[in-house]
Amino acid sequence: MERLMITGQVPLRGEVEVHGAKNSSLPLLAAAVLCRGQTVLHNCPDLSDVSAACEILSYLGCRVEREGRTVIIDTEGLCRHSVPDSLMREMRSSIVFLGAIAARMGQAELSFPGGCELGPRPIDLHLSALRKLGLQIEEQHGGLLCRSEGRMRGTQLTLSFPSVGATENILLAAATARGRTVLNNAAREPEITDLADFLNDCGAKISGAGEGVIVIDGVETLTGCEHRVIPDRIVAATFLSCAACTGGDVRVRKVEPAHLAGVLPIFEEMGCRLECGADSVRLRAPERLRAVRDVRTMPYPGFPTDAQAPVMAAAALAEGTSVFVENIFESRYKHAAELRRMGAQIKLEGRVALVEGVPKLYGAEVFCTDLRGGAALVAAGLAAEGTTVLRDIHHIDRGYERIEEALRPLGARIVREQD
Ligand code: EPZ
């Protein structure tokens, strides 16, 4: 096992590039299954979740080559329609392969994705929509046996909640269905737009992505194309929070500032000065951060749930009490107990977290509880007096490319070593 050793109280200064979005790469890799021939994805981050998705593609019979941040997928050899339990368990978001495999192969077999650190991760919205598109789905001892008689059929769909994953599965299943699908209350995240752009470049007919209503006119076949993955807005928010926590001055580069519209006002409210360029955001932190009145996680374009933990690390050091309301996931405050071990004053009441800022955090031995909770502990460790030993960092490696190598050029004293 590996751990990160972090010695804090160094204000981060300089520039850092942000890699491609994990939450765009994964549905794009699934979308490649739909396409004949070769798909080339650029700016695909080197993350364990991306490796897991590539393993699934190889298992299905695709040829997958990775050259740095470029992934080349050829589906000529596609010969399987099932995803083994071991691979499904490795990454719960593998459920996004369901729509693509079923649409391309006419059948699909996957196990139920396990729950995760954020609480149960139901897929009822995915299954009910796919059934309405004509996919027969049998749920047997934790597995999903799916089959469609010929192509799926377009239809009117309305999501009771703008689920990101369900929207992606619907786009993937409806892209080659017979006829028109109208999806109401679709998720509007930038990753949805990125997926629709890719599918349209492969020959799909999708309009309205990024809005609440998406119209998909099914086509017979899709042909692979070249595509560049959008920047990871959550990694950008995380690096900005590290700058805010340490009283630093950091420019994050190769980002899409518009994708951060839900997050930047919170940093401003905390007293940070922000400067947006065409593909960069600079954050200059104040001597002492101010508390933020309330942070309510919402579907895009609201404040993203994935940024809640990293921003809580900054709030833990602010002057005053900040109120967080986590509206998206049931239990997404596991990092609070670890932050308390570093001296943070955080009170949890259901979906509400009251964070009473303290003047200083202290290095401690802490454990990553999940991907973004782990990132929050990195930010806190960079600000804390003394040394923080951070364990279970495999959680962080799911969504951040060698986070210590990204932060060290900014002055961070952070090293990865064997535990
Ligand atoms: C995606 O998860 C992201 N993951 C998550 O990022 C992100 O937090 C989430 O969207 C919200 O933005 C990927 O893209 C791989 P949802 P997803 O379906 O698709 C409930 C990270 O840190 N729900 O929008 O699973 C669900 O329980 C990860 O990078 C149902 O009830 O999110 C949750 O409470 C964490 N039934 C809420 O909706 C369903 O069928 C949001 O889920 C589906 C979801």
Instruction: Compute, in angstroms, the gap from residue 299 CA to the centroid of ligand 1.
Output: 10
Q: Ramachandran region of residue 213, left (φ > 0), alpha (ψ -120 to 50) or beta?
A: beta
Residue 306 has what pLDDT? 98
Structure tokens at 358: 């303290």
Q: Which two tokens stand for residue 8?
A: 């804090």
Contact 263, 301 (CB under 8 A): no
Contact present, 246 and 10 (Cβ < 8 Å): yes
Dump pLDDT digits (tens) for 174-202.
Answer: 999 999 999 999 999 999 999 999 999 99
Q: Which residue's C-alpha comes closest to atom 9 of ligand 1? A: 164
Residue nearest to atom 26 of ligand 1 (CA): 121
How big is the chain by its Cα radius of gyration, in Å? 21
Ligand 1 site, CB within 6 A: 22-23, 26, 93, 121-126, 161, 163-166, 305-306, 328-329, 371-372, 399
Residues 408, 372 contacting (CB under 8 angstroms)? no
Q: Note if the bond before 257 is cis, omega within 30 degrees.
A: no
Residue among 404, 341, 369, 388 nearest 117 (CA): 369
Active site residue 116: yes
pLDDT band for 142, please (50, 70, 90 cuts): confident
Q: What does the pLDDT average to over 389-394?
A: 97
Q: Where are the alpha helices (DSSP H) in 175-216?
A: 190-201
Q: Note whether 383 and 357 are within 8 A (CB).
A: no
Residue 253 pLDDT exceeds 80: yes
Kind and range of the H or E run holding 312 = helix 308-315
Is the separation of the CB atoms in 16 and 407 below 8 Å?
A: yes
Q: What is the pLDDT of residues 86-110, one digit of tens each?
A: 888 888 889 999 999 999 999 999 9
pLDDT grade for 115, boundaries at 50, 70 and 90: low
| Secondary structure letter of residue 36 according to DSSP | E
Amino acid found at 391: R
Looking at the chain, the whole-number percentage of residues with pLDDT higher than 90 is 93
